[in-house]
Structure 1
Amino acid sequence: MTSTTLRVLVVDDERYLADLVATALRYEGFDTAVAGSGSAAAAQVESFRPHLIVMDVMLPDGSGIDTTRRLRQSGWESPVIFLTARDATEDKIAGLTVGGDDYVTKPFSLEELIARIRAVLRRTARPEEHTKLVFADLEIDDEAHEVRRHGVPVELTPTEFKLLRFLVAHAGRVLSKRQILDYVWEYDFGGSDAVVQTYISYLRRKIDAFSPPLIQTVPRIGYVIRVQGAAPREADPR
């Protein structure tokens, strides 16, 4: 069992754009939902309980800023990133005043938006949301920054820890080298993906010194944490 995948609600009345953003986020490992209006967004907040909202400023039943204000007044505290075709300073100030955490002007690149989402989630993460991840006999304690296998402590460098956590948080799902690079070495890392293979080998020496081995290579695709012989839930083409 692993911790809950982070959930992102995309609110935009342009359905094609909302679906495009949601699909890109799912590909990066997020759970997503979409809404096309402020009222639909409020309903999704109650049922979907997103960790972050991507909110278009212009909605058919009012502004995203007003929707966010109402959500804040009702006690909703998760971060909000505003999307808008307008770039006037007063709009940005209005969005930040009601509790917005970032502001992206249309047109934007999906890579930039995903990087902003990750940055905001890192910046606003609450200590109580840092839970222990458990897969098979492998335990990762975020708060203590400790890893155990068969109950035995395993010493990892910060980069090894981040890589292992990313794999375990998506246990059973094949992750491409590009996805691993984007997450572990951050969005703007410009190096070769050979660094992923190198750090996977470091992890294997420490984590898979125990039996059974958990870190598996999927040829021409990437890597996955799973019990040997188990089929992956999802395989990415990259």
Structure 2
Amino acid sequence: MTNMRVLVVEDDPTLLRAVRDAYEKAHYQTDGTGSGDEGFDLAQERIHDLLVLDIMLPGMNGVEMVRKLKATSNPVPVILLTALDAVDERIAGLDAGADDYIVKPFSLDELLARSRAVLRRCGTIGADGDLIYGPLRIISANRRAYFENKELSLTITEYKLLEYFISHKNQLLTREQIFDRIWGFNSSTSQTAVDVYVHYLRKKLMKHRAGGLIRTVRGVGYMMGGGEAIV
């Protein structure tokens, strides 16, 4: 599950750390906060593949967060963490657009299993855990990418970029989102690296007549799939 990124919003610092540790041991990247308001701001950056939200949070609660995110057409899947007796809140969360919930106390292994199931249902990963977009397939376990079963010769950065595009297929990704995901907020690399590496990746896909899979959205960023390029 290399390069999948999860945002965990939980106000119990011990549970927050335990959940993040479990995801990181399973090779996800994580961000975390105990504040609903900060969690909402982080979720709006749209660099995450999955949100795990406690319902009862200081500031904005988990249900309100889901409702506001879905109102902005944010497609990221959501798992809610709920108390045993929070039936009404669970119903409200699912009605607001959450994809699943898990009741406290819970097994971390079950949380990971539910996460994989949600990502499969959303089309982010295939049944065997691979990322798939049409003829493109990424096998995260060994960091290899294929086009119609022919292996692509990619650098580490090109691989990460392709993986990010496939995991967010048909979604517009700004240059800022791509930069933050691939290089990181604190990187000293210039943001122009995004355009450079998209060019490199396209050239390699063009060898398979697939360069057009990555659209340019002028003045904004890029999108994998969704129609003809906007240049």
Same fold, TM-score > 0.5, yes or no: yes
Contact 1:33–1:48, Cα closer than 8 Å, also in 2: no
Q: State the match for 1:31 in structure 2.
A: 29
Q: State the match for 1:154 in structure 2.
A: none
Q: Aligned pair count? A: 145
Gaps of 5+ in 2: 126-130, 154-162, 164-231
Match status 1:116 vs 2:114? yes
Q: State the match for 2:82 in structure 1.
A: 84
Matches of 1:149 and 1:66, distance apart in 2: 43
Q: In 2 relative to 1, CA 55–129 (structure 1 residues): closer, same or farther, beyond 3 Å?
A: farther
Provide Cα deviations, 1:7-39, integer angstroms capped at 9, x if missing partner.
110001111111110111011010100021121
Partner residue of 1:52 out of 50, 53, 73: 50
Q: Which structure: larger Rg?
A: 1
Matches of 1:44 and 1:92, distance apart in 2: 22
After TM superposition, the structure 1 = structure 2 runs for residues 16-27 of structure 1, keeping only pairs within 5 Å, are: 16-27=14-25
Partner residue of 2:7 out of 6, 9, 16: 9
Gaps of 5+ in 1: 151-168, 170-238
Deviation at 1:139, TM superposition (A): 3.9
Return the letter of the residue paired with 2:119. Answer: L
Matches of 1:104 and 1:88, distance apart in 2: 11
Contact 1:35–1:44, Cα closer than 8 Å, also in 2: no
Matches of 2:2 and 2:87, distance apart in 1: 37
Return the letter of the residue paired with 2:121. Answer: R
Matches of 2:122 and 2:139, distance apart in 1: 24
Deviation at 1:149, TM superposition (A): 7.8
Q: In 2 relative to 1, CA 36–133 (structure 1 residues): closer, same or farther, beyond 3 Å?
A: same
Return the letter of the residue paired with 1:84. Answer: T
Q: State the match for 2:101 in structure 1.
A: 103
Deviation at 1:48, TM superposition (A): 6.2
Give the TM-score normalised by the residue count of structure 2: 0.55
After TM superposition, the structure 1 = structure 2 runs for residues 64-213 of structure 1, keeping only pairs within 5 Å, are: 64-125=62-123, 130=133, 131-133=136-138, 139-141=145-147, 144=148, 146-148=149-151
Give the TM-score normalised by the residue count of structure 1: 0.54
What secondary structure is seen at the aligned counterpart in 2 of 1:140? strand
Matches of 1:95 and 1:44, distance apart in 2: 19
Provide Cα deviations, 1:61-84, integer angstroms capped at 9, x if missing partner.
132001111111122111100001
What secondary structure is seen at the aligned counterpart in 2 of 1:9? strand
